[in-house]
Structure 1
Amino acid sequence: MSVGGSHAGDVPQPRAGGYELPQTYGYGTPLPAQAAGAPVPGVPVQSTEHVSRETPGTDEDDPPLAMEALRAVQILNPSGEIIMPRPDHPRVICVANQKGGVGKTTTTVNLAVALALHGNRVLVVDLDPQGNASTGLNVPHHAGVPDVYDCLIDNVPLAEVAQQVEGIPNLYCVPATIDLAGAEIELVSVVARESRLNRAITNHPEKFDYVFIDCPPSLGLLTVNALCAAQEVLIPIQCEYYALEGLNQLINNINLVRQHLNPTLDVSTILLTMYDRRTRLADAVEQDVRNHFGAKVLNAVIPRNVRVSEAPSYGQSVMTYDPGSRGATSYFEAALELAVRGVNTGGAA
């Protein structure tokens, strides 16, 4: 179903009677062995005997990030047969959802790393004042570091603030510092305030295959800048009861931006995150989302996985932190699906 023609009332709502809890397994009850250890379909994964961080290896305690990246590719794609094709045109993707804690930053970081490890040139623009995407990519973003604020307010070229991510040659990040917290107010009086980020990305001398914009959990001017700069919107949706409540306003804002500022904007991708297979709730939310958004929903679903949560504390994505984990293989599958879909539809104009 096309989102472009959706009205607020069309967006699926949490069911009035609530979602039932599973009768077969109580919350916290261990899954059967087959379900708990089932591999992600279509993704070749080697034995995790010497893969997980829980298993001591024979290498150094803290190998360089470049070695981690190489190790990740060998584990996630051991045969080398899986190729993430490069799009014909740069794809500028805004990762947005005004609800906090749904996995926007985690999705941005891990999709970017997965694509970069497989030959795509990727730029991550951290547009969240919290700077979590910068942290997850181990990019300095303390006070005084040139950041996206300088591009938006002072017209500093994006190329001057973008930093290469250590260990991953094809990946760059424009960090966000605490200065960005004031940008929302300062942009109010700036000429062409909605298109500042679009101009910065357009004027970048190098062309990237993917530009991911990590939005703050709000619908203010920073998010509007991201929506004006992007051709595609990727919406992570948490598989929980409240996940659908905020979609109305998000879809309304996307439609407004399309009508008045960016006619090429399209909600191209929906990604279900934090899926807990032990609950009937997660399955019910998934079915509601798939019934409404149809083919826009990726087949790959991101499960709840402790490795995904641990990785940022080491300044890494889960792709390099523990490539044998369910979180890593799921994001790998999502990135592959995103890449293949983009090529099949001709990429972004």
Structure 2
Amino acid sequence: MTSFFAPAFIAVFVGCGVAVLAFVPFVAVSFRRRGGMTFWRTVSWFAAAIYAMALWTYTLVPFPQPSEVECSPLQLRPFQFVDDILGFDTSSISALMSNPAVLQATLNVVLFAPLGWFIRQLAGRGVVIATISGLVVSGFIEFTQLSGIWGVYECAYRVFDVDDLMMNTLGALLGSLAALLFVRRGKDGPDASVPRPVTATRRFIGIVCDIVISWVGSWFVIIGTLFFTMFRGDGEIAEPGDAVMNIAFLLPFLAQLVSVLSGGVTLGERLVLIGSAQTHLPVAISRPLRFLFGIGGYMLLTQWPFPGSGLILTMLIVTTFIMVFTTRSHRGLACAVARVEIVDTRAERRDAQAARRR
């Protein structure tokens, strides 16, 4: 793998991991601050996560071995890149396009242009904030290089260049200006307190959140246990035993069970502001059914497989997704079996407030 594509691969891989870990908090914040999620805003945040990793990989990676570090000098003369450009062939456009100094300056601008774009699109800030952000982020990266990653290395393993600081800041400025052509900067966002319909997309997001919670919750327990045993012991990572795997399953399982039994909805549904309005069966019957034909059944079948469990799990998943798009109010399989109606929790609060006024 070339030195150019290796940082890109790392950025995409790590960025996707960060996006998965941040998905549940992102959904919770989006529904409470903006009332919901939009496709393009979600894609933009996903791209921003990958871009943040790209800034790190292209400016700091690869990390040299401490014994192989050669101390790099400081370049503190502004506009030194102009002399560097003139030191190569500048007799034609094609020569300039292949000029290493031109390419270096251009890449520094291009690397930070998305930062200015994201500052306007996602944070709703203008040119001044984008430019200052570019200066601050670039300065942090340059001083990280200068300090040998804050003392990890004895000296700087990359050149501290004031021209890089200038070109990076210019890139953030140009990215913000370019966003002016495509992104409207509104002062007032959508009213998150207004009730909205329970759509199939919203139900799907809630289901994905439930699955992510079960996976990520289990992996947090496993990884936390591995680190604990590594630091407590001789530094070697031991394979997790059956007890750790059982705990990793039980914690998210019990959290979902308590959520359904206490409120009639899963954790993922709480995140997307879905509530249980009423049931046509006694609560003591409907809520266990709601759990077993939903996230509870999914988790049990994945944890303790038996002959034919794969087919049952497949049927459960397929039927659930089909019924989310076809049942009344997009209730899905679990709600249909438990005969539970679901609503927007904001509508519940509004109706409760109206009842109190009467």
TM-score range, shorter chain: under 0.3
Bigger fraction of residues in helix: 2
Bigger fraction of residues in strand: 1
Q: TM-score, normalised by structure 1?
A: 0.22
Comparing both chains, which one has the higher relative contact order based on Cα–Cα distances under 8 Å and sequence gaps of 6 or more?
A: 1
Larger Rg: 2
Q: TM-score, normalised by structure 2?
A: 0.22
